[in-house]
Amino acid sequence: MKNKRLAMLALVMALALFVPSCGVICPKVEVVPQGVTNYTGIEIDVPSGDSNVGLDVDQNGTSDVVSFKDGGTEVFDIADGGIADFKNNAPTNLGAAGTDFTSTGGLTLAGPLAASPGAANTVLVYGSAITPLTSSVVITAASTITNATMAACTVNGQLVIIAIAGDSDITITESSTLYAGGSIALDASEFDAVALMCVGSKWRKIAAFADN
């Protein structure tokens, strides 16, 4: 009988030690996996209303705080000191459309700022409306265009640089969607360009290169 009681007591103590009462991983319980190379995944479940941090990684050494790999190749890490490195992979989908990047302070770049014109030049025909989807638009035409227009803008504060390429001149006429103090004549032989900013639903000319 005494042996049975001892066995039951040992079982209860084992359950108390190894069976958590708060989900998969209890908050404030140190988990130190060693030699784990094959697993199907880890789930950390913080109950609703719990104020504990879901995952707290404290690196006291000098190596990376975290390192993520794809097929053995590191694709992202947070270095000692807190600097995130995407390993030459462009971060995408950082937020909803129109709020991809927000900051309450200034933005400092370690290199030059390049405004991507997209995959190809925008080819205009008679009466074309230019709809900038990027911060830089290169327009061209097979023959002279005198009545191109700007489509109404939708993102207040959007900046765009429009540059001409090719051999044909292009004129963007002033309209209800463009305030420029007159039509914008882009001379192909002089490699003209113009900078516009969206105010409400109307583009405004803020700078120009050459004689436009």
pLDDT single digits (tens) 152-190: 998 888 999 999 999 999 999 999 999 999 999 999 999
**Tens digit of each residue's pLDDT (9 = 90 or more) over 64-113:** 999 988 988 999 999 998 888 888 777 766 665 555 565 567 777 788 87
Please report, for the chain, the start and end positions of each structural domain, with discontinuous segments joined by +.
55-88, 122-209
* Band (133; pLDDT cuts 50, 70, 90): confident
CA gap 65, 149 in Å, rounded: 52
Percent of the chain whose predicted confidence (pLDDT) is above 90: 37
| pLDDT tens, position by position, 148-159 | 999 999 888 899
170-172 and 184-186 strand pairing: antiparallel
- The CATH code that applies to domain 122-209 is 2.60.120
Q: What is the pLDDT of residue 23?
A: 47
More confident residue, 198 or 96: 198
Q: Which residue has the higher pLDDT, 141 or 53?
A: 141
* Neighbour-count burial of 42, counting CB atoms closer than 10 A to its CB (0-12 exposed, 13-18 middle, 19+ buried): exposed
Can you give the pLDDT at residue 55? 84
Tell me which range, 47-51, 56-60, 201-205, is most confidently predicted by mean pLDDT.
201-205
Cβ distance 177 to 142 under 8 Å? no
Measured distance CA(152)–CA(196) in Å, rounded:
12
pLDDT digits 0-9 by tens, 20-52: 445 445 555 556 666 666 666 777 888 888 888
35 is written with which tokens? 């030699």
- 125-147 mean pLDDT: 92
Would you state the structure tokens that stand for residue 33, as one six-digit string? 């996996």
